Chain A
Amino acid sequence: MSLRAPLAPSASMFALLAFHLVIGIAIVAAGQQLGRGGFAVAATAPLAAVIWAITQAGGVLDGKPVTESFSWVGGLGISLDLRLDAFALAMVALVSGIGFLICIYALAYFKPHDPSTPVKSNVGRLAGMMTVFAGAMLGVVLSDHLIALFIAWELTSITSYLLIGNDDTSPRARAAALQAILITGMGGLVLLVGLNIVGQAAGTYRLSEIIENVPTTGSSTALNAGLICVLIGAFTKSAQAPFSSWLPGAMVAPTPVSAYLHSATMVKAGVYLVARMAPMFATQGNWRVVLLTVGSATMLIGGLRALRQHDLKLLLAYGTVSQLGFMMLLFGTGDDHIAQAGVVLLLAHGAFKAALFMVVGIVDHEVGTRDVRRLGGFGKGWRLTLVAGVVGAASMAGLPPLFGFISKEKALDGYIEHGDFVGSTVVLTVIVVASILTFAYSARFVLGLLGVFADPDFEASCVDDVDSQRAQAPSLLFVGPALFLTVFTVAVGLAPVIVNRLVETATMALHPEAKPKPVHLWSGFNTAFVLSLAVIGTGTALTVFRSRVAAGLSVASKAMRLVPSSEQSFNFLLRGVGVAARRVTGVLQNGSLPIYVAIIMMTATGVPLIAFAQEWTGFGDVIETPVHVALVAMIISAALGASIVRRRIAAALMLGAVGYAMAGLYVVQGAPDLALTQFAIETLSTVLFVLVLRYLPSTWTHRAPALAAPMRIGVSVFVGVSVFVFALVASGGRSRSARRSSPRSWSKIRTPRARVRMSSTSFSSTSAGGTRWVKSPSYWSPRPVR
């Protein structure tokens, strides 16, 4: 496990990712013609991934990861390293397995009720973007290099944005998409900072190498800050508090998208990253405190809010938020037994949550509403759909003998037996309480689906007319994918041995030293089982007395309104940024040319000044030959003259004189090439100056406000001093140059690089002293990071 496998001769992983990309773009291009048929084409990509994963599974499960590498930006040490270990395999199964089912499901979902209505043209685009997304998500879980992972990560954010906002005529969809990309994009930037710090601290950007060589500088502030940044990135992606508001908003997307991206796969990217990082870094810095606090808060808040939803899809969305918090609590501790529970939950959640979303989509599609108050039971032919919904919800609630029960048992057991860190008891309590809430909202989902909450008064207040009793029963193609997942949930629940090997090796991929215990349906009459019973009992009580619970929750939520919700904070922040930007623009870009020049000059010289002042070593031999005195006297007098004369043309000529004297200085210092350039530039710019000046009045109008002159003088002096310091420090830095030619040498061997550099600096040195620092080759040549 610890040894890196030799480079595979094939490039099958790259081919797989490229296949997703090509198929996706092709479908987007042909979206108009394909329509919903695009999903049939799209299904080939995840199917190929699944088949490929099965062919690789044997070796990977024996602990021999598949690796492929492609040098990308060699100079910066960035390469595209792909690596399929057992944990990645579990994620691939999730991403591509569910992806394939979703494509089949979407075929039926986008079938119009009335065949004569035209298919919306953007359905094809949706199918294409989903394929691209599936490829990006595979990239996240297969990347071994942090930078490659980051790029795939951002690609999932972008495709998610396009998928949420696919219905571009809906303002709600656009707003939700914008919110999602702002939050995850912001998190992505923070993540990039964090990954770089971690990569630098570890000395390598490869995950498989970091785990062998964990940075031991545990107390380092930089590493701690980097880890917090990584966590923030993971939190935004996985909709943890306080960044969770985008996920419920994303539910405006069509249900296949929600089921795929916003429950089963993409939101698990953050969890995935935490799972990868925790074994190495969980004990360092503030990782555990931050992660356990955020995860606990998310799990509780999500559960509480799910309990108050009338929209089945929103209920599931908040349930997803809660479960993601749960996964964070399991993966983030750095303990291998608890992480094993995380792997089980990851798979179980993927199976039941995707099935539940599919059921909601079926209801929405056939009945026309997802509101529990308008669902009053279903007619014949709906039995399979309802079974899928009930079994999925039971798995979510943690009822035996289902997959969800096993994951919850394992989690409780992990925390009871191996929770030996600070706060583990509190977290265990949180998990139990949140599990009770999970049970309650799962029950609410089932009751709502069965029509218990039907409300004739509410129905009467609605404009459109829906009747779930007479709704057309879904086709077998429509229910099939959900049924498949239901069968899987039950089968694994009864015979956990199906996933046992995958779970164990995936845990060992995360924790090389782990000795995972096999998962069982019945692991004895232990504390975890008692807690499970307590959860089920209390949850049932909450469900039975649901009207009182609802009243209590509504009082509590009124009290909670005093505290701004994450939605409100997001809008507040967004408005704040807008206001601040307007104010800054109003001050800095007020339309006055002198102010613009002043700001640009002050920034361009002031910022480097801070760095250069630290290198200040005092004055060197300023005057080397008498010629210096004459030339400098000419420069100074011409510069003073330029600022005093009243006619514009005279000032332009004076500036030209400054430039020519500067060229003379270059000659004296033995830089004929610079002198030549300077001379030519000066000539030409003076000619152009004269041309332009014909369009301006010949003298300045002196109507400037009283403060203007002192301000101009102040800015000029500041810029002058900065450039002076810069010139001195830079010429001092020359001594460190590796290639130093004699000052009088007329011939220089230069590379094109140095020349480009020189030309660009010559422009800026027209009126202010550019010295020979430009010729230091080491200044320009790129240095590799490592």
Chain B
Amino acid sequence: MTAPVGAPQRSMILDQSIKVLYHSILVLALYFEFAGHNLPGGGFVGGLIAGAAVSLRYASGGAEAVRTTFRAPSHVILGFGLFLSSATALVPVMLGGAVLEHASYEMNLPIFGTVKVVSALPFDAGVFLVVVGLVLMAFAAFGDDRVANETDDEAAQ
């Protein structure tokens, strides 16, 4: 989390609390992503919460901090999510079912107890990635401290 050159003064309290919060929020986002089948949550909400975590990073480190959040470029994240979702949606068709039809399996795991695994999970994961990718792209487009600079954008990619 390096500060961009010429960044405005940064609040240390904010920086430190975000360091703690950021990863916790991401865990929460993953929880929602997995809980989504029977409990409130799902890939969309999870993605949004992860997006909120990213916006916290922006609040402390500016556009540069967002850019270095994930190694993969934002459009790759979005595209992979879209591919994952549509592929999951179409797999049942190949197996002779309807679009988006899903199956679920229950199993007993040592620590977690009875866990229900749903074939809709990759679909939700895809949605999650789409939302995260979208948020990253929004920050890339509008997040620069000055009016967006073309050469900077290209260099970032």
Contacts and interface: CB of A to CB of B under 8 A. Distances in A.
A753 B52 contact: no
Residue from the set A75, A676, A746, A749 with the largest chain B CB neighbour count within 10 Å = A676
Interface string B29-71: 0001000111111101100110110010010000000000000
A683 B139 contact: no
A762 B138 CA distance: 19
Nearest to B38: A747
B48 A677 contact: yes
Contacts of B55: 683-684, 687
A746 B38 CA distance: 9
Nearest to A693: B142
A695 interface: yes
A694 B146 CA distance: 9
Contacts of A684: 48, 51-52, 55, 135
Contact of A695 (B39, B40, B147): B147
Interface string B123-150: 1100100000001001100110001000
Given A75-B98, A691-B142, A695-B142, A677 B44 contact: yes
A673 B40 contact: yes
A750 B37 CA distance: 7
B50 to A, nearest CB: 10
A750 B43 CA distance: 13
B123 A688 contact: no
Nearest to A781: B98
A755 B138 contact: no
A681 B49 CA distance: 9
A691 B141 CA distance: 10
Interface residues of A, number: 29
B120 interface: yes
A683 B52 contact: yes
B26 interface: no
Contacts of A681: 48
Contacts of B142: 688, 691-692, 694-695
Contacts of A601: none
B90 interface: no
A613 B125 CA distance: 40
Interface residues of B, number: 29
Nearest to B49: A680
A712 B34 CA distance: 44
A680 B53 CA distance: 11
A98 to B, nearest CB: 40
B100 A753 contact: yes
B42 A673 contact: yes
Contacts of A782: 98
A752 interface: yes
Contact of B45 (A676, A688, A691, A753): A676
A746 B124 CA distance: 20
Nearest to B88: A752
Contact of A676 (B40, B58, B147): B40
Given A672-B40, A673-B40, A751-B102, A691 B139 contact: yes
A759 interface: yes
A752 B100 contact: yes
Contacts of B135: 684
Contacts of A746: 39-40
A502 B127 CA distance: 60
Given A677-B48, A680-B49, A752-B100, A759 B127 contact: yes
B45 A677 contact: yes
Nearest to B58: A687
A677 B36 CA distance: 12
Interface of B: 32, 36-42, 44-45, 48-49, 51-52, 55, 58, 98, 100, 102, 120, 123-124, 127, 135, 138-139, 142-143, 147
5 contacts: A691-B142, A692-B142, A752-B123, A755-B36, A762-B44
**Which 7 A-B pairs rank lowest in CB-CB distance, beginning with the nearest?**
A680-B48, A673-B40, A691-B142, A759-B44, A752-B120, A672-B40, A687-B55
Given A673-B45, A694-B142, A746-B39, 14 more contacts: A673-B42, A675-B40, A676-B40, A676-B41, A683-B48, A684-B52, A684-B55, A684-B135, A687-B52, A691-B138, A691-B142, A752-B124, A756-B100, A759-B127
